[in-house]
Amino acid sequence: MNKLYENADLAIADIIDGSVLMLGGFGLCGIPENCIAALVKKGVKQLTCISNNAGVDDFGIGLMLQQKQVKKMISSYVGENAEFERQLLSGELEVELIPQGTLATRCMAAGYGMPAIYTPAGVGTEVAEGKEVRNFNGKDYLLEMAFDADFAIVKAWKGDTMGNLIFKDTARNFNPLMAMAGKITIAEVEHLVPTGELDPNHIHTPGIYVQRIFEGKHYEKRIEQLTLSK
Query: 178-207: which residues touch other proteins (CB under 8 A)?
Result: 180, 195-196, 198, 200-201, 203-204, 206-207
Residues 131-160 touching a copy of itself, rule: CB under 8 A, are 136-137, 139, 141, 145
Please report how close the Cβ of residue 67 comes to a copy of itself at its closest, in angstroms.
33
Q: Is 1 in the site for other proteins (CB under 8 A)?
A: yes
| Residue 127 binds which of a copy of itself, other proteins, none (CB < 5-8 A, kind-dependent) | other proteins
Q: Helix, strand or coil for residue 44?
A: coil
| Residue 166 binds which of a copy of itself, other proteins, none (CB < 5-8 A, kind-dependent) | a copy of itself
Question: How many CB atoms neighbour CB 213 within 10 A?
Answer: 26
Distance from the Cα of residue 210 to its chain's centroid: 14
DSSP per-residue string spanning 138-203: TEEEEEEEPP-EEEEEEEEEEEETT--EE--GGG-TTHHHHHHHEEEEEEEEEEEE-TT-S-TTT-
Site string for other proteins, 89-108 (x = CB under 8 A): x-------x-xxxxxxx-xx
Q: Which of 179, 175, 169 is nearest to 206 (CA)?
A: 179
Residues 155-174 touching a copy of itself, rule: CB under 8 A, are 166-169, 172
Rounded CA separation 159/165 (Å): 4
Q: Is 172 in the site for other proteins (CB under 8 A)?
A: yes
Site stretch for other proteins (CB under 8 A), options 7-15, 35-43, 59-67, 120-128? 120-128
Q: Is 175 in the site for other proteins (CB under 8 A)?
A: yes
Nearer to a copy of itself, 112 or 219 (CB): 112
| Residue 70 CB burial class (10 angstroms; 0-12, 13-18, ≥19) | buried
Half-sphere exposure of 184 toward its Cβ, with a 13 Å CA cutoff? 14
Distance from the Cα of residue 26 to its chain's centroid: 9
Which residues of this chain interact with a copy of itself, rule CB under 8 A?
A: 105, 112-120, 136-137, 139, 141, 145, 166-169, 172, 200-202
